[in-house]
Amino acid sequence: MTDTQLPTTPGERSAEPGGDTPNGTPLETLRAAAFVTEGDALVASRIARLVDAPTDTWQIATLALAVRAVREGSSALALDEIGRLTPERDRSLDDDTEAPTITLADIVAPPSSHQLADDLRTGPLVGQGVVHLEYGLAYLDRYYRDEVIVAGLLRSRGVAPVDDDALRRAGAALEGGALDDAQRAAVDSALTSATTVLTGGPGMGKTYTVAAMLVAARAALGDTTRIALAAPTGKAAARMAESLREADVLADNDALTLHRLLGYDRTNSQRFVHGRGNPLPHDVVVVDEASMISLSLMARLLEALGPNTRLVLVGDPDQLASVEAGSVLGDLVAGLDTGVVRLATHHRLTQGRAAVAEAFAQPTGDHPDGGEGTVPPSSERVLAAIDSRDDGVEFLETDAPDLTMLPHLVEAASRLREVAATGNAEAAVAQLRASRLLAAHRTGPFGVARWNRLIENALAERFPDVTPYAMYVGRPVIVTKNDRALGLFNGDSGVIIRQGTALVAAMETASGVRTFSPWRLGDLETMHAMTVHKAQGSQAEHVTVIVPPVGSRLLTREMLYTALTRAIERLTVVGTREAVELAVETPILRASGLRHRLREQDG
Note the Cα 518 to chain centre separation in Å.
28
Tell me: pLDDT of 38 over 70.
yes
Tell me: pLDDT of 168 over 60.
yes
- What CA–CA distances, in Å, run from 180 to 160, 347, 362, 385, 410? 27, 10, 21, 26, 42
Average pLDDT over residues 154-162: 86
- What CA–CA distances, in Å, run from 344 to 63, 204, 381, 392, 545? 42, 6, 18, 21, 25
Q: What is the pLDDT of residue 91?
A: 40
Average pLDDT over residues 164-190: 84
Predicted confidence band at 288 (pLDDT cuts at 50, 70, 90)?
Answer: very high
Q: What is the pLDDT of residue 364?
A: 40
d(CA 3, CA 311): 39
Q: Yes or no: say if 560 and 550 are a contact pair by the CB < 8 Å rule.
A: no
d(CA 191, CA 27): 53
Which residues, listed in sequence order, are joined to residue 249 by a DSSP beta bridge? none
Which residues, listed in sequence order, are joined to residue 514 by a DSSP beta bridge? 507
Helix or strand or coil: residue 159?
Answer: coil
Tell me: pLDDT of 499 over 60.
yes
Q: What is the pLDDT of residue 9?
A: 30
Predicted confidence band at 302 (pLDDT cuts at 50, 70, 90)?
Answer: very high
CA distance from start to end of the chain: 20
| Percent of the chain's residues with pLDDT above 70 | 87
Q: Yes or no: say if 441 and 452 are a contact pair by the CB < 8 Å rule.
A: no
Please list, in sequence order, all residues whose beta carbon lies within 8 angstroms of the beta carbon of residue 443, skipping any fewer than 6 positions away.
93, 449, 450
Q: How many CA atoms lie within 13 A of 462 on its CB side?
A: 13
Average pLDDT over residues 320-341: 90
- The pTM of the full predicted model, rounded to 2 decimals, is 0.84
Average pLDDT over residues 296-312: 94
Amino acid at 415: R
Helices (H), 88-192: 104-107, 113-121, 124-127, 141-156, 164-173, 181-192
Calculate the average pLDDT of the chain. Answer: 84
| Rounded to 5°, angle at Cα 538 from 536 and 541 | 130
Amino acid at 539: Q
Q: What is the pLDDT of residue 248?
A: 67
Q: Yes or no: say if 204 and 479 are a contact pair by the CB < 8 Å rule.
A: no
Number of residues that make up the chain? 603
d(CA 524, CA 490): 9
Average pLDDT over residues 498-505: 90
Q: What is the pLDDT of residue 41?
A: 94
User: What DSSP element (H or E) covers 407?
Assistant: helix 407-421
Q: What is the pLDDT of residues 438-461, one digit of tens each?
A: 999 998 889 999 999 999 999 999
Q: What is the pLDDT of residues 371-412, one digit of tens each?
A: 444 455 678 888 888 887 667 889 999 999 999 999 999 999
Q: What is the pLDDT of residues 120-130, one digit of tens each?
A: 999 999 999 99
Amino acid at 167: L
Tell me: pLDDT of 12 over 70.
no
Higher pLDDT, 361 or 479: 479
| Percent of the chain's residues with pLDDT above 90 | 48
Predicted confidence band at 347 (pLDDT cuts at 50, 70, 90)?
Answer: low
Which residues, listed in sequence order, are joined to residue 515 by a DSSP beta bridge? 506
| Rounded to 5°, angle at Cα 509 from 505 and 512 | 95
d(CA 573, CA 54): 52
